[in-house]
A and B are shown apart, each in its own frame.
Chain A
């Protein structure tokens, strides 16, 4: 649940009074034109924006009855439970195996068997297993862009978070792996809460239960995906969805 969220980059306001109630075990899609603050919004939900110098935020993000921006929150632990896949694929310059094992290793899990299992199941979930199973020691940077992005999804799944933030996870993947990722999102929904930013209207319509439309840092409309796409209340939402601008 998000209340009155405002975000700034060195005093430039990029999010203005956002209120969204994200339901657990469902998929929430964020859509809107480029530069409207979608990434900023989703990156505020696991406090990864804290790393950007000059970033400031007001308002509350309530997760498990607690504001994640409270002073006594353990940020590392929070990020472990709220996984994230970034807009640009960012695999570590290590082997495929180590990329996924990393999240477990920093948590002190080093038994080979556990790591093997986690690597295999995460790669399978992210629809990458068949392509890389023969050479898990390959450097992750030699994968294609789409494969790298799926590797990042696998990396986020390996630590078994309960919320998954996806910032345009399919912007670099081909239709087949996109379909696989959508299938994955559909399956994960039973156990995870998912927030996904996407530029693809059909995708938002297909995978999400509720959707929010952002424009110039404001949340224009939020509601059930069906309602947003079939009967948008706001003229701007309608124009955007039907492709009249943005």
Chain B
């Protein structure tokens, strides 16, 4: 009797464990599935368009009669908006991380942190319209030559969007620096600023770099803001004042249009997706490696 009951219990546990295991497999399979579809369609694409053309052609016009399939203009657009976003987010994010970790009392921190997290929770479509309908007109007053769609204001807004991410991850890295190091620095007469900049910041540098790379990969993958406010004109330029198009925005454009299934135009979506995936994948691996190194230092 007893052994029977125990058997049922054991069996139940066995079932639950397997169920949990299957759930975790689900996300792995989804990822593998996505990679497979991307590769499959990309291969078909490269059968029609040679990869050298794809990498060197300076025009991207798959939807026109005179078709060109050079990824460079899209990459350039992505690069430009990301660069602008990063140059906004890094200084502001780092300064706020230094302040929160080294200067603020716990009371101030407890107020500021939730506030920045709200900033992170705003839907990106709101940011997009903020860039298009508020920031662009505002900037136009200063720079009259600014187009209605442009890389500048979408880049800036994207930067604002990733500030909380940069700030909170960098702050975590700085707080992980042992208190003893700070004491050592104070003990030879450092001011608070010197401790922050010369000891804590370098000691947390690999953790902070990891955070920055994650932020960059977030900016590269950001879609809504650029689709709304940056334009739809693939252009090989570093001029932030004119309309451009990023990889993500192109994918949105084609997906929303009525491109028939199985055509070459349709496959460009997957090639772009693949490019995007590779970019962020490589960056994330970098970030992961750095973070591990950072953890090793303080164990």
Contact = CB atoms under 8 A, between A and B. Distances in A.
Interface of A: 46, 48, 51, 53, 76-81, 83-84, 86, 88, 90-94, 102-103, 105-107, 141, 152, 155-156, 158-159
B184 interface: yes
Nearest to A80: B189
A104 to B, nearest CB: 9
Given A48-B186, A79-B186, A152-B184, A93 B191 contact: no
A92 B197 CA distance: 13
A48 B183 contact: yes
B87 interface: no
B28 interface: no
Contacts of A93: 181, 202-203, 297
Contact of B202 (A76, A94, A155): A94
Contacts of A155: 184, 188
B188 A90 contact: no
Contact of B297 (A51, A80, A141): A141
A141 to B, nearest CB: 7
Interface residues on B, range: 20 to 34
B114 interface: no
B189 A159 contact: yes
B3 to A, nearest CB: 53
A90 B178 contact: yes
Contacts of B199: 92, 102
A102 B181 CA distance: 13
Given A81-B189, A90-B178, 14 more contacts: A76-B191, A79-B188, A80-B188, A80-B189, A86-B184, A90-B184, A92-B181, A93-B181, A106-B188, A106-B194, A106-B198, A141-B297, A152-B184, A156-B187
Contact of A106 (B181, B182, B183, B190): B190
Nearest to B298: A93
A80 B189 CA distance: 4
Contacts of A91: 184
B180 interface: yes
B183 A86 contact: yes
A235 B172 CA distance: 51
A90 B179 CA distance: 9
Given A76-B190, A76-B191, A106-B189, A90 B203 contact: no
A90 B181 CA distance: 6
B203 A51 contact: no
Chain B CB within 10 Å, residue with most, of A80, A102, A106, A152 = A106
Interface in B2-45: none
A79 B297 CA distance: 28
B106 interface: yes
A46 to B, nearest CB: 7
A69 B180 CA distance: 22
Interface string B198-209: 110011000000
Contacts of A81: 189
Interface in B163-219: 178-191, 194, 198-199, 202-203
